[in-house]
Amino acid sequence: MGEQSPDGGRKTAKATGEAAPPGKSTPAKKALARRAGAASEQASAMQAAAVKKAASAKKAASAKKAASAKKAASAKKAAPVKKTPSAKKAAPVKKAPAAKKVTVAPKKATARVKGAAPARTVVHPPSGESPTALVRRARRINRELAEVYPYAHPELDFANPFQLVVATVLSAQTTDLRVNQTTPALFAKYPTPEDLAAANPEEVEEILRPCGFFRAKTKSVIGLSKALVEDFGGEVPGRLEDLVKLPGVGRKTAFVVLGNAFGRPGITVDTHFQRLVRRWQWTAETDPDKIEAAIGALFPKSDWTDLSHHVIWHGRRICHARKPACGACPIAPLCPAYGEGETDPEKAKKLLKYEKGGFPGQRLNPPQAYLDAGGTPAAPLGAG
């Protein structure tokens, strides 16, 4: 107990100035301790809260990552799997047929060389050539033919445009030789359009009988003669649009007349011309007008008339329809169809016709250049 003051109050240690005995805590010290304890508890609580918050954040991140992975796995599982081409069963591969061996022409014409070596078996030149290559090949063929047939000319006998147009109409479905053997009698009796226009059809038919289709041809030549007299003053017109108006005259006949009687270039698309330009793969057209346009695009206009002569002559003498003489062909190295005919040189020579085979030509009165080159004129009708 504390000592009491005289006034009856209890004196404290502070008041008395005496120190508190060791081992005993004063009120101030207790308050300080309480404050320190409270601060320590508060710090511990805050530290625990921070740790708890960090753990929660980490847990949330882990959960989010796991959810994303689960979602991705589910999406991958749900997506349809596309089969790759390799997964499909390989289709059976068809075995390509063996390349067909075809004969190709020797470098030089075997007709000119005796004892030529047999033709080799190699692949033909490709048919799908470029337009430029086609033009070059076509023009080279024409140059080669010009050297072989420098004397090429129309193989119908005529002395003037009227005789040429009549002879050309008569040449349908027969040979030029047969026409040349028939027209001398016709023109001797009917020398002008006026004479033939006034002729008795029965008499004309009798003259034209050797040409075949004589009734239809009689009607045509009398009809065109009347048209010349009535519409053109008895003169053969020199224009394509006028010529094709004449009975029996088409574009082929008109170009024969224009090119050979008037010197105006034209392409004559007869059966020989059609056959050869397709065989040489200059064009695949079958219509004469389309063939004319296609071939005309390959050559300058100045070459058209002579080109027609070269091709027609070659078709009649060497490149025949049924059995071409490939082994005697001067343009064999340039021909995609080489091998369709006889390739043996000696056998091919026997297939040649007219002057190439030693036979007479088709004209009774051929040009002098043809005679100088060794050509032989044909015999008149009924001779020998």
Residues tagged active-site = 252, 270
Contact present, 161 and 236 (Cβ < 8 Å): yes
Cβ partners under 8 Å of residue 275, min gap 6: 315, 319, 321
Q: How many C-alpha atoms does 345 have within 13 Å on its Cβ side?
A: 15
Cα gap 19→319, rounded to integer Å: 151
Alpha helices, H only, 173-250: 176-189, 193-197, 201-208, 214-232, 240-243
Q: Is the CB of residue 36 less than 8 Å from the CB of residue 43?
A: no
Sign of CA dihedral 243, 245, 249, 251: positive
171 C-beta neighbours (distance < 10 Å), count = 23
Helix axes 161-170, 176-189, angle to 10 degrees: 130
DSSP string, 304-316: HHHHHHHHHHHHH
Distance between CA atoms of residues 367 and 159, nearest Å = 12
